[in-house]
Amino acid sequence: MPQHQMSELCKLEEDNQDQRENRDRVRCRCLFRDSLEEVAAGQTPIPPQSPQGACPSPPAVAAPPCSHPEDQGSSCPDEEGPSSTEGSEDAESSPRDALHLKTVHLVRFLLLKYLVKEPTTKAEMLSRVIREYQDHFDAIFSAASECMQLVFGIDVKEVDPIDHSYVLVTTLGLTYDGTVKDGHIFPNTSLLVTVLWVIDTEGDYAPEEVVWEALRVRGLHDGKEHWIYGEPRELITKVWVREQYLVYRQVPNSDPPRYEFLWGPRAHAETTELKVLDFFSQHHLLKRLS
């Protein structure tokens, strides 16, 4: 085959792969959002048993279904028109979708466990969530645990390596998660850690516009309600200031007035700058938020 034809085929395959990955991300984001809306509505955390043979056990595990759920206007697959390639790729994407769905269900399960302050065990997760995908427990559990950290700021910690029992706690030793204020149901600790990290990288205090730029990367915008975190300005300039995690002050001698953020006394008491930096380094987020 001529070299130019080979290059065209490779380019076509890369484009098709990008389309498949984009569609998978949209589909999983929709599943994740629907699942959390069920949590907010007080529905059961346990998904119904899948029909026998509906999802064959896949040989490999795809990427986790979430990093930061942004509130951008991506349509769910059910709301889109049929794709010309969708039918031919259903068989290829269904194993990946099945594992993504199990990860979403496990995130929902763990979130509800956190909200009711109950521990869990590997045996419980296997029997109530993972079920027929027990061979893929490690990968599903790892992806769900990372999602709990990145989206909510909740750590899944093993407390008994023999019994494989776990507790769910706020990350970095922080004692505030936002779920008890104003009826807000979802923890927002990871967002607080993001702001603390931005302040660190700016050298002890961060201009307000730099903080907003970092929040925009996570899909939050001034004056716009976020489906997980609520109204961000209220959080960063009032709630977390009142809780003494942040200091929000006017820059001295600025005209017109400009504002900046600093760590508050409670943040200094409960965690350290090194722990915050390690949190982001661990999840390879420095590029995404810089």
Closest CA to 227 of 34, 7, 9, 25: 34
Residue 157 has pLDDT above 60, yes or no: yes
**Percentage helix, strand, coil for the chain under 3-state DSSP, each rounded to 5:** 55, 10, 35
Q: Give the contacts of 207 (CB within 8 A, at least 6 positions apart).
A: 251, 258, 259, 260
Q: For residues 41, 166, 150 and 172, what is the CA-based torsion angle, rounded to 10 degrees? A: 120
Helix H or strand E segment including 46:
none
Q: CB-hemisphere CA count at 13 Å for 125?
A: 34
208 pLDDT band, cuts 50/70/90, is very high
- Tens-digit pLDDT profile for residues 263-280: 999 999 999 999 998 888
Least confident stretch, 1-15, 167-181, 215-229, 254-268: 1-15
Q: Return the pLDDT at 75.
A: 45
- Tens-digit pLDDT profile for residues 13-70: 455 444 544 454 444 455 455 555 555 445 444 443 333 322 322 223 333 445 455 5
Cα separation, 76 vs 96, in Å, equals 17
Cis peptide before 65 (omega within 30 of 0): no
- Tens-digit pLDDT profile for residues 125-142: 999 999 989 999 999 999
- Tens-digit pLDDT profile for residues 235-256: 999 999 999 999 999 999 999 9
Contact yes or no for 16/85 (Cβ under 8 A): yes
Q: Return the pLDDT at 129.
A: 94
Put the strands of the sheet holding 246-250 in their side by side order: 205-207, 259-263, 246-250
184 compared with 80, residue with greater pLDDT? 184
Q: What are phi and psi of 276, to 5 degrees?
A: -65, -45
End-to-end CA distance of the chain: 44
Q: Return the pLDDT at 229.
A: 87
Q: Return the pLDDT at 183.
A: 55
Q: Return the pLDDT at 138.
A: 94
